[in-house]
Amino acid sequence: IAPINAVCAGDSAVLRLLNSAVYGNNVTYSWTGPNHFSWTQNSFVFDEVSLADTGWYFLEVSVGGCSAPMDSVYLQVNPLPHLSIDPIHDQCAPLSFQIPNNSTGVDTHFWSIQPSANGMFSSADILQPVLTLLDYQSDTIRYDTIFYVATTDSGCVADTSFTVGVIGRPIASMDLDDTTCPNSALGVVNSSQFGTSYQWASNFSQEVQITNSSDFIPAITVDSFSSVIESIIFDLTVSNDSLCVDATTDTVLLFPNAIAEINPSPLIDCAPFVINNAILSAVDFPDAIDSFLWFIDSGNGFNSIESTTVPTITWDYTINEPNSGLAVQLVTVGSCSRDTTSIDFTTYPLPI
């Protein structure tokens, strides 16, 4: 009998004579083996061997009633790896999870994914690697195919494949006004995609009024609560019917209302009277000041001086009596509001 190498379950194997002589038509063959095996031809082909086929096979050849010495051969059938991977349900992108592989009898592992650009394994040669699947923003499900090849220490190979559904998540996108004024409506643009629900929020939950915060475009106003420029952060969270989410933020500068103060000293002086030391509360937030506009009432009508700084105003009278005037300052902050203040002062002319 020809020798037989060890085979794996499911492989083919052949029982055959190594050398034979033909003696007419009176040659008979009698094969016997495990699992009640018997055969009466000179060779036998196993299309797919099983573990039950492992064992000794014996052949007796008779010619004209005379039997040759019996020969035998041992057929070793090695088991395949036992593959067992728990089902993996569709999940929101992006996702990372450990593959629930419970396979046994495995000596070496090999994992791969198609398309290969859609994910990666923490290690492709271990039993339960961590699979990371890349982000996917859409209103559909992307299916990635995972391939697994397992090999035993005797070289027997089994493989399988399965798909993982990556549920597309929405795209959160908004555009708010860069600046806003107290108690003014904030301009809101929501350009999000693939979402079915929305949630708006702010880091100033008490001061920022968001009407219908779950609407696609809510109404937003900000109370007057600060004398300095405030950075207000708005959050938008978008989700779909599968509860997959995306979030984005935008920052809006809140300009305070203008506060005008003027404090020239003295209020009574000889001509020329100089206003050069006005004190402005607006200096607490100089970046918010758009312009100063000063108005002077000299008794002969108003004169105006536009300046982005505090000007020096010189008032010189030549008439021979005291004059009262009115100085008014108008301040604009972030185009939000204007405030005025005034003082009375007296200028005595110099003698001629």
pLDDT in tens, 181-194: 888 899 999 999 99
The Cα–Cα gap between 82 and 80 comes to 6
pLDDT in tens, 288-311: 455 555 555 555 444 555 555 555
Q: Which residues fall within 8 angstroms of residue 341, CB to CB, at 6 or more apart?
A: 260, 261, 262, 328, 329
pLDDT in tens, 36-80: 999 999 899 999 999 999 999 999 998 877 888 899 999 999 999
pLDDT in tens, 342-352: 666 666 666 76
Smallest CA-to-CA distance from 15 within 74, 78, 80 is with 74
Q: What is the pLDDT of residue 27?
A: 86
Q: What is the pLDDT of residue 5?
A: 93
For residue 89, give both structure tokens: 């349900």
| Mean pLDDT on 102-113 | 97
The Cα–Cα gap between 61 and 65 comes to 10
Q: What is the pLDDT of residue 281?
A: 42
Q: What is the pLDDT of residue 263?
A: 60
The Cα–Cα gap between 285 and 333 comes to 9
Alpha-helix runs per DSSP H in 31-89: none
- Looking at 177-322, which runs of residues are DSSP E strands? 179-180, 188-190, 197-202, 208-211, 219-222, 230-239, 245-254, 268-270, 273-275, 289-297, 302-307, 313-315
End-to-end Cα separation, the chain, in angstroms: 146
For residue 86, give both structure tokens: 């728990």
Q: What is the pLDDT of residue 319?
A: 54
For residue 22, pLDDT over 80 is answered with no
Position with higher pLDDT, 303 vs 177: 177
Amino acid at 147: F
Q: What is the pLDDT of residue 284?
A: 43
For residue 222, pLDDT over 70 is answered with yes
C-beta separation of 315 from 296 below 8 A: yes
Position with higher pLDDT, 132 vs 62: 132
- For 123-136, b where at least 16 C-beta lie within 10 A, e where not — what string? eeeeeebebebeeb
Q: What is the pLDDT of residue 283?
A: 39
Q: What is the pLDDT of residue 65?
A: 78
Task: Cis check for the bond before 170: say yes or no (omega within 30 of 0).
Answer: no
Phi-psi region of 81 (alpha: psi -120 to 50; beta: other; left: phi over 0): beta
User: What is the average pLDDT value for the chain, to the nearest integer?
Assistant: 84
Q: How far is the CA of 250 from the CAs of 172, 228, 276, in angstroms?
A: 11, 19, 42
